[in-house]
């Protein structure tokens, strides 16, 4: 757990207000405040854990838990939660993906095709 005694006052105020909003069940306000706290000082694992509790998607929670583990690889809560998210994340398919995910796949495929074409041109130029 990060030492909060040396944290900037702005971070502490935002973090405290974010925790209180989360405890009241006001997730949108908690999300806003905790995000602001992390912008002030992104090196507090507790802020990332609280943010994970109020974000809306598993993808966002995954980012939060990954950041916790970057800061503290020994954090068992983050590790277990990340394993839980990864266990229930389906293998991506183009059939059930959102339009945004499909665009990402198309860009990845286009990039790979360009790399293959560049490789072919280089090989033919060397032959």
Stated pTM of the model: 0.66
CATH 1.20.200.10 fits 1-89, yes or no: no
* Among 55, 58, 62, 59, CA closest to 78: 62
Residue linked to tokens 């000082």: 41
Write 59-67 long-range contacts (CB < 8 A, 24+): 61/85, 62/86, 67/42
Residue 11: predicted pLDDT: 92
- Average pLDDT over the chain reads 86
Residue 79 in contact with residue 69, Cβ under 8 Å? yes
In this structure, the number of other CB atoms found within 10 A of the CB of residue 51 comes to: 26
Q: Using one digit for the tens of pLDDT, what is the confidence trace for 7-53?
A: 789 999 999 999 999 999 999 999 999 999 999 999 999 999 999 99
Domain regions of the chain by residue span: 1-89, 92-127
According to the model, what pLDDT value does residue 100 have?
76
């Amino acid at each position: 757990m990060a030492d909060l005694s040396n944290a900037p006052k702005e971070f502490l105020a935002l973090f405290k207000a974010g925790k209180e909003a989360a405890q009241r069940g006001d997730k949108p306000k908690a999300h806003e405040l905790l995000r602001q706290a992390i912008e002030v000082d992104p090196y507090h694992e507790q802020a990332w854990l609280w943010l994970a509790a109020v974000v809306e998607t598993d993808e966002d929670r995954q980012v939060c838990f990954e950041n916790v583990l970057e800061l503290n690889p020994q954090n068992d809560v983050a590790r277990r939660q990340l394993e839980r998210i990864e266990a229930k994340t389906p293998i991506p398919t183009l059939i059930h993906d959102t339009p945004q995910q499909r665009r990402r796949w198309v860009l990845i495929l286009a990039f790979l095709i360009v790399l293959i074409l560049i490789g072919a041109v280089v090989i033919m130029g060397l032959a």
